[in-house]
Structure 1
């Protein structure tokens, strides 16, 4: 798979065009799975692993890559398909960066990279067998490809602490913003739940959307109903990569709309921080939040709302 991740610069040009590239892989069977290439640092054959005592059952061990210790997660076992049988597959690891941490996923083998439009990436249908661990599905070569909710996998291995002390919340501000709507957009139920735990104490009315297109339709509904957009909607917090319409395209569409264009939009994503800081400027977001940092979220959200509603 040398060269499979050949040009990051070329992929950054996809941003704002509602396009992405996904890396296809399998887990020892015929079914294909995928993750976004932007989260992938490297693809390599399974190296020798060092076992760790008392680690999570889905962590096969650690390996040392470029001066850092990287945990290797059996992705098949993590999504409850049973452990991967390394002896009879062409075992590969996919080294990724999520939430400013590096980890590798053990997979049966990697196929190729496919360039797609986000409107070809669809939410999983109700009743899908592995929907619990899917954020999306798509069809390639007449076959269904399942996009794994890696954030859920990682949260189960190392649960996030979302508890914040009461003194982080600014009471004078909360009195002003109480009851205003905040639209949170993410295809991961885990991420939505994490955001709600931080935002609920602020007294905001939280409205959820599972992708950019759903969020855009919600905004259009509010606009067409005659809502006072500038006063009643506090802000939008959106993931970057989502089925049907990504966060970059959602931001672009909001900024194009004369009624919606002044809304605060914050990008909230597990993709590389440096990359997204550049994209924030490119598409016109007001801020960037790395997943998942509850203290940073509470502080940044309140700072932006104070500037908007209290001058």
Structure 2
């Protein structure tokens, strides 16, 4: 890819704010040497560059090629083809430098194609996938030319490579926060598992949805029932936790819907996202989120949940 093309990619990557609340996503398309096309949310991409010299180091996990030095930072390099059990002899010419979940790393790929914009409502969770990529592809979308793009769950891939940190033990907080339920929405099985572990240890009841559209339908149903019964909704739902990236409706649009519906007044919305940069936190603030927690930090998540739900309980008295 020509240098000018690389600079154009970086310029587009830096122009993120205009997508907040639009229910659109920009995908960086790339290949791993086969016929498949893969994509990663541009929000997670810091830059794209030609492959740099990779230093092999001992005791690296499978899928990690080594490390590189980039502008004074030492970054691990993950061979995406190896991580997906799709290794081949095609040359790997590009590095995608990514930043999410407060980690920065490089993904080694065969080649980078272009950036495309897609509507979240045209993105669907896969019904079934081959065993070698099962759990590592979070969604699929179809481009206007009919080409299918597999959107990678890079958090799951990173977790598989470096391992999961165990969720610590927390003291139950039922007396502090009351009997209200926490509602959360996240399309990632890994994220849902982590959230549920935290909530189970806090002894907080919960409901969840797999994407923003499903979440909004469930939340409206709960609100309609409370309205019909003349009940205080904030005594039933103490907090709503949303992911930023979700098929069909993203967390920004979901938050905007919640904040525009008077029935949810007084119920805090917290964004729990791997998009951990300052810019992405500001995007959440633009649509009205009350708090922001980066994935995956169980102590910070537990503290945020406890404080927010305690405040909701006190305000509802």
Superposition TM-score, scaled by structure 2 size: 0.90
1:51-66 superposed matches below 5 A: 51-66=56-71
1:280 CA displacement: 2.7
Change (3 A) 1:308 1:178: closer
Q: Is the 8 A contact 1:72 1:106 kept in 2?
A: yes
CA distance in 2, matches of 1:178, 1:306: 8
Supply the distance in 2 between the matched residues of 1:65 and 1:215 (Cα, whole angstroms): 40
The alpha-carbon distance between structure 1 residues 90 and 295, as it changes in their structure 2 partners (threshold 3 A), is: closer
Q: Match of 2:47?
A: 42
Equivalent position of 2:301 in the other structure: 297
Separation in structure 2 between the aligned mates of residue 8 and residue 127 of structure 1, nearest angstrom: 29
Secondary structure at the aligned position of 2:117 is classed as strand
Residue 94 of structure 1 contacts residue 107 of structure 1 at CA under 8 Å; is this kept in 2? Answer: yes
Structure 2 match to 1:155 = 159
Q: Show structure 2 runs of 5+ residues with no match.
A: none
Distance 1:59 1:84 in 2: 16
Structure 1 position 179, deviation (Å): 4.2
Q: Secondary structure at the match of 1:267?
A: strand
Q: Determine the structure 2 residue equivalent to 1:93.
A: 95
Q: Check the 8 A contact 2:177/2:306 in 1, yes or no.
A: no
Show the counterpart of 1:187: 187
1: distance between equivalents of 2:82 and 2:207? 34
Q: What is the CA–CA distance in structure 2 between the aligned matches of 1:307 and 1:48, rounded to whole Å?
A: 52
Q: How far apart are the structure 2 equivalents of 1:228 and 1:213?
A: 24
For residue 136 of structure 1, what is the aligned residue in structure 2? Answer: 139
Residue 119 of structure 1 is matched in structure 2 by 121
Matched-pair contact (CA < 8 Å) for 2:64–2:78: yes
Q: In structure 1, how many angstroms separate the alpha carbons of the residues matched to 2:166 and 2:295?
A: 11
Matches within 5 A, 1:5-44: 5-8=10-13, 10-44=15-49
The aligned length equals 304
Q: Does structure 1 residue 204 correspond to structure 2 residue 201?
A: no
Pick aligned residue for 1:267 from 271, 274, 286? 271
Matched residue SS, 1:2:
helix
Question: Is the CA contact (8 Å cut-off) linking 1:181 and 1:204 kept in structure 2?
Answer: yes
**How far is 1:89 from its partner?**
2.8
Question: 1:70 — aligned with what?
Answer: 75
RMSD across aligned positions (CA):
1.8
Superposed displacement of residue 52, structure 1: 1.1
C-alpha displacement of 1:21 = 0.6
Deviation at 1:79, TM superposition (A): 1.9
SS state of the match for residue 310, structure 1?
A: helix
Secondary structure of the structure 1 residue equivalent to 2:107: strand
Deviations 1:163-204 (A, max 9, x none): 3244xx3x5x42254542211211110011111111112222
> Deviations along 1:44-63, whole A, 9 cap, x unmatched?
12111100101101001111
Aligned partners of 2:169 and 2:201 also within 8 Å: no
Range with bigger deviation, 202-211 or 251-260: 202-211
How far apart, CA to CA, are the structure 2 residues paired with 1:9 and 1:158? 28
